[in-house]
Structure 1
Amino acid sequence: MDREYGVRGTPGREQFEKEAEAFILGAVLKEARLSRGLTQEQLAEKCGTTKAYISKIENNLKDVRISTLQHIVKKGLDGQLLLSFQF
């Protein structure tokens, strides 16, 4: 990682980390949606957004606010968002 993207704190590494986190978030959201047998459209309807917005989150094309993600998880997936911090 350090050799390819730079050490932590460098611009290249920070950009990689940000993109990796967004990718993981999108993949987890998609996995949760599919495990509940929902289409993107069905999830969007349940949480009051659009299919396009769900697609953008799942495909790492859109940043999502934590409050919006909480709403999607709670209303759309009948779940609870748990956050943790790692230092």
Structure 2
Amino acid sequence: MKAKKDNTINLDQFKDKHYGKSGTEKRVALEAGYENFKIGALILEARLEKGLTQQELAEKTGTTKSYISKIENNIKEVRFSTLQKIVEIGLGGHLELSIRL
């Protein structure tokens, strides 16, 4: 009986195969899009944890419900100053930024 071939690959191998090695234009675009998605998902999760509606968060931060929705759904990128307002004023949290080289 023949052994079954293992075709399993990890996420980095998948990205290498379909988007190129780290640092290539296509890969950089993919990873930048992921970071934007992650920010929206984090805001959504924190908003729900605080029991706020999009409208309530928008009112606290001087934005609109539509803008909050667009950020959460990765339709619109958020400016750093607005992100800081959303996190600190709207959600009562603390925004941390780091740069890794």
So what's the TM-score if we normalise by structure 2? 0.82
Considering fraction of residues, name the structure with more helix.
1
Aligned-residue RMSD, C-alpha: 0.8
Give how far 1:33 is off: 0.3
Structure 2 stretches lacking a partner, 5+ long: 1-14
Percent of aligned pairs sharing the same letter: 57
Structure 1 runs of 4+ with >2 Å offset: none
Alignment match, 2:41: 27
2:94 to 74, 80, 85: 80
Give how far 1:70 is off: 0.3
So what's the TM-score if we normalise by structure 1? 0.94
CA distance in 2, matches of 1:10, 1:44: 37
Mean CA deviation greater in 28-37 or 74-83 = 74-83
CA distance in 2, matches of 1:24, 1:73: 14
1:16 to 30, 33, 36: 30
Larger Rg: 2
Q: Which digits, 9 at most, give the CA deviation of each residue in 1:24-78, with x for residues without a partner?
A: 1100000000000001011001111000000010011111111110011111001
The residue type equivalent to 1:55 in the other structure is: S
- In the alignment of these two chains, the number of paired residues is 87
